[in-house]
Amino acid sequence: MPDSVLIPAPVSTTHGRFARTSSASLSILASVEGFTFSTSVRVRFADTDAQGIAHNSNYFVWFELARVEYLRAFAGGYQALRDQGVEALVLESHCRYAVPARFDELLEVHTRCLGLRGARFRFEYAVTHADGRLAADGYTEHACVDARTLRPTRVPEWLRAAIETAEPASSSSPA
C-alpha cells in the first residue's frame, strides 16, 4: 500500500480554506521523552472500522484508560478523588492521528500530567505502535469541581503533591 494511504498528510483550516502543510511537520516516530507513565492497549476487532483500522473515537477511550491508570499509579486512583467529593471534568479534548492502528495491534499509551493551576490541569498522550511509530497524540484539559455543586474547586493538595512527584520537572509549568 502506498505511503500516501498509510500516512495521511496533516491538513490545517484557515478561513474555510484547506491548506496542506508539509508532511515533515508530522513526526512519524514518536518522541516519548518526558512521558512518565504508559499503559498497553490491544486493538479489539470491535475497535476497527470498515477499513480495518482503529476508529478515531477509540483514541479518546484509550486516553481515558491511560488517565485512570496514571491516577491509580501515582495518586491512589480516580476513586480516591471521588471519595473526597471532587470530580475532574473533561473541559476539552484533542487528538491528532498519524499512523493507523489495526486489529490485534498492541499499542502503548504514554501519559503525563502538566499545567496544574487552580482547579485546572492537562493530560497529554502519545499512542505508539510496537516499533515506536506514532499512532496518535493528543491532550485533555480538566477542571476539579465539587461533586455536589459542580462548582470549580482547587486541585486537592494531596493530588497536586502526587502529580508533582510523578512529574518533577514540568507539573507546574504552563501546558
Q: 3, 47, 49, 131: which is the annotated catalytic residue?
A: 49
Where does residue 66 rank: exposed (0-12), middle (13-18), buried (19+ CB within 10 A)?
buried
For the question of residue 49 being annotated catalytic, the response is yes
* pLDDT of amino acid 84: 93
Q: What is the residue whose three cell numbers read 493528543? A: 138
Instruction: List the pLDDT tens digit at each of the 175 positions of the chain.
Output: 444 444 444 433 334 333 333 344 445 555 788 899 999 999 999 999 999 999 999 999 999 999 999 999 998 889 999 999 999 999 999 999 999 999 999 999 999 999 999 999 999 999 999 999 999 999 999 999 999 999 999 999 999 999 999 997 654 444 4
What is the model's pLDDT at position 169? 67
CA–CA dist 79, 140 (Å, integer): 19
DSSP at 10: P
Which structural domains are found in the chain, ordered by start?
28-166 (3.10.129.10)
